[in-house]
Amino acid sequence: MARDFVSITGCAVAASSTILTLAGCVAAVAARDLRPGDRVITRDHGAQTLRDIEFFAAPQGSTAIAIPAGAIGNNTRTIVAPSQRILLRNVQAELYFGESEVLVNAEDLVGFRSIETTEAPSFGFVRLEFDTPEIIYADGFEIESSALTSFEWAGDPLMSRLGLTVSGMPLPPRPVLEAHEAQLLVGSKTFQAAA
């Protein structure tokens, strides 16, 4: 079932993106080949069971975000949803926001290290769901996954900063920066994304 691409939150990566899993030993597996029950490597909780995977196509003319290889630690050009949250780690984040690790919407990184908008590819996207939001590895960099109960709740990052939840929704695994905060962070002349 196709969804409005721009409203997808959590993990919405191109179906061709590789996700770090416990397939065999430790292996990167194309997101389109994952199935519920697969064990995915997470930053905070080790291997976690993938509870659900949703495949969807972006409507024609939808926008996606293209991240060139190496821009933020990724090992290949990566396509994600504009609302895909990406983990940034750096001392500037701690100086500005009191946290060394923060989540930033991909769309808020446009212009940083040649990250740009692009037409969403027709081959599809996947949304990976776990029991709680997790930080997972996609194409070599860290992104936020979805949880079975997550949904867009008015797009208000203040909710997570205040520690509030709506209808039992789990909180993001890291603080989420607003667009102007992300621009401040990556606009710093000394900002270097951790690879």
Instruction: Compute the distance between CA of residue 77 and CA of residue 82 in angstroms, rounded to an integer.
Output: 15
What digits encode the pLDDT tens for the residues 25-60?
A: 678 899 999 999 999 999 999 999 999 998 888 777
Q: Tell me the C-alpha distance between 123 and 142, whole Å.
A: 22
In sign, the C-alpha dihedral spanning 114, 115, 121, 125 is positive
Instruction: Encode pLDDT of 119-158 as tens digits.
Output: 887 778 899 999 889 999 999 999 999 876 544 444 455 5
Across the chain, mean pLDDT equals 83
* DSSP three-state, residue 160: helix
